[in-house]
Structure 1
Amino acid sequence: MTPRAPSMAPADRRDALVGVTLQLLREHGRDVTTRQIAEAAGIAEGTIFRVVACKEDLVDAAIARAFEPGDLVDRIEGIDAALPLRERLVLLASIFQERVQATFALMQKVGLVRPPDHQHDSEAAEAWRTQVAALMTAVVGDDVERLDVPVDHFVHVLRLLCFAGSHQHIADGRLLSPEEIVDTVLHGHLRTERRG
């Protein structure tokens, strides 16, 4: 017999179920069952319906969570500012590539062709894009003076290349490595050092 999860407040139970459902969606897509969710959460199947009206409410909440920042901010802020610029940018590109690939894989698994509207076309989405640009600019740090373009353009191009180079269809199945992404952007936007 599966051990049962401890008692939780409804909001906490729902939050936990959303997390479990998101993991299962990555494996089973929308075919995930409430039985699978309950087993993974260590609860009786009926407990699910004490916190959501139907499975689709849980699925929708899980998909919405996949587009939230999660630990992205902490991971970017954790990049060591003492590293050389290229190393910092490779770490940044790796973080973005992991996120993009996980998001695209989930979208394909659940049949989405674009993010949910509230995650794409809202004031919150615009605020998030602004925050990401600021985080990326902070990773560039004092090396901003080495760029031959404005830093906002540099981080925009880097982000676009991370997106396009990490998408199987856009990249024609030839994904770019984080190193290729960074070298492409750096070689195009670093000032040529003056000689002598």
Structure 2
Amino acid sequence: MTPRMSSDQRREQILDAVLDVALERGLAVTSKELAAAAGVAEGTLYKAFGDKESLLRALVAREGRREDAAGQWIRAGGAEGTSLEELAAGIAELAILQYRQQFRMLQMLGSLMQQPSHEDIAEFDRMLEPWIDALDAHRDRLGIATARAAAMLRMLVIAACHDGGWGIPMTPAEIVHVFLHGVASRAHAPAAPAVAA
């Protein structure tokens, strides 16, 4: 006999199941559509969340707290032995997927989002810690402190993955190129100033 799910487990299962339809339909999604996506009766949704808006708010809150995918990859050893280029590409690829989904959530369900708390902002900063640690192995190739390099890499990813009109969609390879080399080609870069002896 399969053990019975706790109410928290049931809520998580429902949230997992309704994510795609909520991102596709936004606030126009109906309770019936959510129930169908979750494979449950509408009454089960109401029992678990109270109403459609509460379910969607719970979904938005959960997705906003989702662990950083690039950090997970780094902590799992995926970045060990990688070159700086491979590390930056791995981070960019995983972060793009995650931030694109978060931008989609903002676009479709943004009115349900809460103002970030001090704890939310602190957690956003903490998510960079694995990036900083991994980049630190390559600090001799970085022209700035690793914490600043990690923050700049994340800002490149965020700006590059938003396809809603105010970003410039970029591939991970393009992000890596800009992160490591800037936008000027070496042929057109000004000569380094002479250093007085």
Q: Is 1:101 the equivalent of 2:100?
A: yes
Q: Please show how residues 6-155 of structure 1 align to structure 2 within 5 Å.
A: 8-70=5-67, 72=69, 73-78=71-76, 79-110=78-109, 112=110, 116-117=114-115, 120=116, 122-155=117-150
Question: Structure 2 CA distance, aligned partners of 1:165 and 1:178?
Answer: 9
Q: CA deviation at 1:55?
A: 0.9
Calculate the TM-score normalised by the size of structure 1: 0.80
Shift in alpha-carbon separation, 1:87–1:67, aligned structure 2, 3 A: same
Q: Structure 1: which 4+ aligned runs deviate by more than 3 Å?
A: none
One-letter amino acid of the counterpart of residue 172, structure 2:
P
Retained in 1: the 8 A contact 2:68–2:127? no
Q: Are the counterparts in 1 of residues 22 and 34 from structure 2 also a CA contact under 8 Å? A: no
Runs of 5+ consecutive residues of structure 2 not aligned to the other structure: 183-191, 193-197
Query: How far apart are the structure 2 equivalents of 1:41 and 1:113?
Result: 23
Distance in 2 between residues matched to 1:77 and 1:132, nearest whole Å: 11
CA distance in 2, matches of 1:39, 1:55: 13
User: CA–CA distance in 2 between the matches of 1:129 and 1:25?
Assistant: 24
Deviation at 1:94, TM superposition (A): 0.9
Instruction: Give the whole-Å Cα distance in 2 for the aligned partners of 1:67 and 1:7.
Output: 28
Return the offset for 1:42.
2.1
SS in 2 for 1:185: helix
Distance in 2, Cα, partners of 1:76 & 1:113 = 33
Distance 1:101 1:21 in 2: 18
C-alpha displacement at 1:59, in angstroms? Answer: 0.7
Structure 2 length normalisation: TM-score?
A: 0.80
2:170 counterpart of 1:170? no
**How many residues were matched structurally?**
179
CA deviations over 1:105-162 (Å, ceiling 9, x no partner): 222122x279531xx3x23223322322211112213211221211121111111111
Q: Secondary structure at the match of 1:51?
A: helix
In structure 1, list runs of 5 or more residues that go unmatched: 1-5
Deviation track 1:169-195 (CA, whole Å, cap 9, x = no partner) reads 222xx411111111112124xxx9xxx
Once the 2 structures are TM-superposed, how far is the Cα of residue 71 of structure 1 from its aligned partner?
A: 6.0
Contact 1:166 1:175 in 2 (8 A): yes
Instruction: Out of 135-144 and 89-98, give the one that drifted further.
Output: 135-144
Deviation string, structure 1 residues 76-101 (Cα, Å, up to 9, x no partner) = 42423211110111010111111111
